[in-house]
A and B are shown apart, each in its own frame.
Chain A
Amino acid sequence: MKYLLVRSTDKEILKRAECGGAITSLFKYLLEENIVDGILALKRGEDIYDGVPELITDSKELLNTAGSLHCSPVNFGKLISKYLRDMKIAVPTKPCDAMALKELSKLNQVDLNNIYMLGLNCGGTISPITAMKMIELFYNVDPFDVVKEEIDKGKFIIKLKNGEHKAIKIDELEERGFGRRKSCQRCEVMVPRMADIACGNWGAEEGWTFVEICSERGKELIENAKKEGYIEVKEPSERAIKIREKIENSMIKLAKKFQKIHLEDNFPSLEEWKKYWNRCIKCYGCRDICPLCFCEDCRLEKDYVDEKGKIPPDPLMFQGIRLSHVSQSCINCGQCEDVCPMDIPLAYIFHRMQLKIRDVFGYVPGVDDKIPPLFDFEK
């Protein structure tokens, strides 16, 4: 049983969940059976654009975390490595979450034995403010009238208060500079097979979650949760498995196309990079959010003791040091770029450099089991 269709046995969960509520029910099982201390999940805040990470320890609260928030580009990697290392937890992981955690475990920053990763297939996230602007501009709708959004068959679909649905092709939105984040456009890992299970709507029947079992632990989890009555399980059709595979492959192709456009054809010129670096206010935002930047004793601060307050910093030193430390492990999560107050397209450089390192060493961060090739380079 590698592929399964899973559905929650809890009516309330089914009502709130994105698909069959597999994730929420498995979390409920793990928490109620005391297998984990807590669940780090995404809670819906003010509206559909507002995803707020929260560690849930009371299974009743899990209901508030059910459902997918496509306009919430969070990454759980650093929250876990920095604040939850001492706990046994479970977490929903998009590929970029799962890759960050896998990479962090190789760098001894987290212990995956303590973390159940319940994977979410991911076709991309949209930045919340971009989503609101886009809904206003292209859907002619007040963004606050939207009560639900989903991504299906290449379209971003919104459901309004009055029950109406409106859909526009993501391609069209992206041609106009809206749609998914740039890193998501280039992201070529759609199914998080480094997690314990990978869940999605691709290939699923209405009301069920399509689950790919990715580890022995994932397999046991499903079996036990089924035994305890949290979920029901059935086999998907051969056709469903084929359809899912086909969509995955075409999404990977699309991502490679975007890689070529962003990182080669339209890669900023040296002149343009100079313009970008001239804006850097040395706020350390990019470093502090990067799930893979973890040096306790950061060289960036050491090399700058003499020039504290000097902005912009010398990019060769500032980004150069970070590039040499992080680029081999960069999983292109786009967090650095998201938080840069000066809108410098940072992930472009890190992702491009990673792909070059991949060409030479064949190392795929977050996916390969081996440790990063240059990990020992400074010792």
Chain B
Amino acid sequence: MKIINTICPNCSVGCGVGLIVKDGKVLGIYPNKRHPINEGKNCLNGRTCHKIINHEKRLKNPLIKKNGAFVEVSWEEALNYIASHLKKYNGDEITFIASGKCTNEDNYALKKLADGLKAKIGHCICNSPKVDYAEVSISGDIEEAKNIVIIGDVFSEHALIGRKVIKARDKGARITIFNTEEREILKLNADKFIKVDSYLDIDLNDFKDDLIIINAPIDTDKFKNNKFKNFKILPVAKHCNTVGATLLNIPALNREEYFNLLKDSEFLYIVGENPALVNKDILKDVDFLVVQDVIFTETADLADVVLPTRCWAEKDGTFTNFEKKIQHIKKAVDPQHKALEDWKIIKKLAEKLNINLGFESFDELHKEVMSYLKDLN
């Protein structure tokens, strides 16, 4: 039995979490009190993060839909099948969807493939605030803030940010919370709770010298009086690597943009996302659909080919958290089945298409991603 310290994959806060590993299986989680963000404290989402590993809907083999039913096939067959179809489309008919749940390395590899094919690429942020991460300087010393305005509910959704808010309040900070729902935990922990029908009604002009934490899925460009001059803004994305995908220059799409792109695609390759959960019809005009995911989702059900990927506990890589801090996740166990890392699947597919992605191993890929991100800064 040993404990592998890694990063929680369940939101953008990026808390540390230890996985208890015995005989090649993850049995539970263990606090990592040494982690600077959460000091060994995790919310319920974080504390159940290992459940995905043995999820009942876990994909085990590549699947091809033949005569309306899925058949298990080898990697070779699945990738050849995809490649042969992909060759029939022009670049502008092809779309790749990256994911805020994948590592920077995975998303970077996908972006390189998309660029190589001159195809479109984007990632969905419909559950997160839309901000220009490259522009916003994240100076979120929440604990030291004097006035904190929260748009959304960080207590239920990002409790380890909630903790920092509470610490600030204990030191005398004034907390104002806007939410579209009345929730007990928000009313009890705010000096002022305001229920709004739409977040866009909030007039940012009312705030001066405040720290504004936003985790509601809103487009900050659309705020009234959006100048971001009088205050600091701290967006908190939903997924563990939404910020990372955005900083890799993969276009961040709100729901409308996302659905328009999906509808506009002939050949669609979706990694780690599940749009059919929200709208089943959105994919009905897609000609050829590939879904690459950890579990069998509503979207996978509609696909022509489904590819099983490793979950975060089964691979190495990096996530970029809400503060733009790059953190390493660590492989704790091997998968119990044929799942491969996202980047590896993409590399194998690229090889079938005679596209050279320029890296041979994870280490080479990781180095390239790090230097790409550094050059951006």
From B100-108, B183-191, B357-365, the one touching the partner chain is B183-191
Contact A45 B28 (CB under 8 A): no
Interface locus among A116-124, A172-180, A196-204, A274-282: A274-282
A289 touches B5 (CB 8 A): no
A79-B1, A132-B36, A341-B42 are known contacts; what are 14 more A-B pairs with Cβ within 8 Å?
A50-B34, A52-B18, A53-B30, A83-B27, A127-B39, A128-B39, A129-B34, A278-B188, A281-B155, A283-B47, A284-B44, A311-B185, A339-B42, A341-B162
A72 touches B5 (CB 8 A): no
Chain A residue numbers with a CB within 8 Å of B39 are 127-129, 338
Partner of B41, one of A45, A54, A341: A341
Q: Once the chains are docked, how many angstroms separate the CA of A132 from the CA of B35?
A: 11
Near B by CB (< 8 A), chain A positions 91-131 give 127-129
B251: chain A residues within 8 A (beta carbon):
none
Residues 22-44 of chain B, each 1 if its beta carbon lies under 8 Å from chain A, else 0: 10000110110110101111111
A240 interface residue (CB < 8 Å to B) = no
Report the interface size for chain B: residues with CB under 8 A from the other chain.
Answer: 34
Cα(A84)–Cα(B1), bound, Å: 9
Say whether B185 contacts A45, CB under 8 Å: no
User: Closest approach, in angstroms, between the C-beta of B19 and any C-beta of chain A?
Assistant: 11
Please, how many residues of chain A have a CB less than 8 angstroms from a CB on the other chain?
Answer: 38
Contacts of B5 in A (CB 8 A): 45, 52
| Residue from B1, B22, B184 having most chain A Cβ neighbours under 10 A | B1
Cross-chain contact B47 with A288 (CB below 8 angstroms): yes
B166 touches A283 (CB 8 A): no
The answer to whether A279 touches B44 (Cβ under 8 A) is no
For B155, what are the chain A residues with a Cβ–Cβ distance below 8 Å? 279, 281, 311
B41's nearest neighbour on chain A, judged by CB, is A341
Task: Tell yes or no: B83 within 8 A of A by CB.
Answer: no
Report the Cα distance A47→B39, complex, angstroms: 15
* B163: interface (CB < 8 Å): yes
Q: Is B3 an interface residue (CB 8 A)?
A: yes
Cβ of A285 within 8 Å of any chain B Cβ, yes or no, is yes
Per-residue 0/1 for B167-189: is the Cβ within 8 Å of any A Cβ (1 yes, 0 no)?
10000000000000000110011
Which of B33, B156, B163, B189 is close to A343, meaning CB atoms less than 8 Å apart?
Answer: B163
Nearest chain A CB to B298 CB, angstrom units = 23
A339 touches B44 (CB 8 A): no
A60 contacts the other chain (CB 8 A) = no
Residue pair A289, B1 in contact (C-beta under 8 Å): no
Nearest CB in chain A to that of B187: its residue: A278
Find A83's partner among B1, B41, B185 (CB 8 Å cutoff): B1
Residue in contact with A49 in the complex, picked from B34, B44, B162, B167, CB distance below 8 Å: B34
- Residues A342 and B166 in contact, CB atoms below 8 Å apart: yes
- Is B162 a contact of A342 with CB atoms below 8 Å? yes
Q: Which residues of A contact B159 (CB under 8 A)?
A: 281, 283, 341-342
Whether the Cβ atoms of B47 and A285 lie closer than 8 Å is yes
Complex interface: chain A residues within 8 A of B227 (CB): none
State whether B156 touches A281 (Cβ < 8 A).
yes
Asked whether any CB of chain A lies closer than 8 Å to the CB of B2, the reply is yes
Is B98 located at the chain interface by the 8 A CB criterion? no
**CB pair A283 B163 closer than 8 Å:** no
Cα A51 to Cα B31 with chains together (Å):
11
Whether A338 pairs with B31 at a CB distance below 8 angstroms is yes
User: A residues bordering B, Cβ < 8 Å?
Assistant: 40, 45-46, 49-55, 72-73, 79, 82-84, 127-129, 132, 278-279, 281-285, 288-289, 310-312, 338-343
A53 to B31, CA, bound (A): 11
| Interface of chain A: mostly helix, strand, loop or mixed | loop
Q: Among A52, A132, A341, which residue has the most Cβ atoms of chain B within 10 A?
A: A341
Residue contacts A-B, CB under 8 angstroms, 20 given? A46-B34, A49-B34, A51-B34, A54-B3, A127-B33, A279-B188, A279-B189, A281-B162, A282-B44, A285-B41, A285-B44, A289-B31, A311-B155, A338-B33, A338-B39, A338-B41, A339-B41, A341-B43, A341-B160, A342-B166
Question: Shortest Cβ distance from A53 into chain B, in angstroms?
Answer: 6
A325 to chain B, nearest CB (A): 20
Please, how many angstroms separate the alpha-carbon atoms of A233 and B156 in the complex? 57
**Other-chain contact of B163, A40, A45, A82, A341 (Cβ < 8 Å):** A341
- Measured between C-beta atoms, what is the minimum distance from B355 to chain A in Å? 38
Cα A339 to Cα B163 with chains together (Å): 12
- Whether B290 is near chain A, meaning CB under 8 Å from some CB there, is no
Chain B residues within 8 Å of A49, by CB? 34
Q: Is the CB of A310 within 8 A of B162?
A: no
Q: State the 8 A-B residue pairs at the shortest beta-carbon distance, nearest first.
A: A278-B188, A55-B1, A341-B41, A283-B44, A128-B34, A54-B2, A50-B34, A311-B185
Are the CB atoms of A53 and B42 closer together than 8 Å?
A: no
Docked Cα-Cα span, A310 to B27, in Å, equals 28
Cα of A127 to Cα of B36 in the assembled complex, Å: 11
Alpha-carbon gap, A57 to B51, bound state (A)? 28
CA distance in complex: A279, B41 (Å): 14
A-chain residues with CB within 8 Å of residue B163 when the two chains form the complex: 341-343
Docked Cα-Cα span, A339 to B167, in Å, equals 15
Taking a contact as CB atoms under 8 Å apart, the answer to whether B184 and A310 are in contact is yes
Task: Name the B residues within 8 Å of A285 (CB-CB).
Answer: 41-42, 44, 47
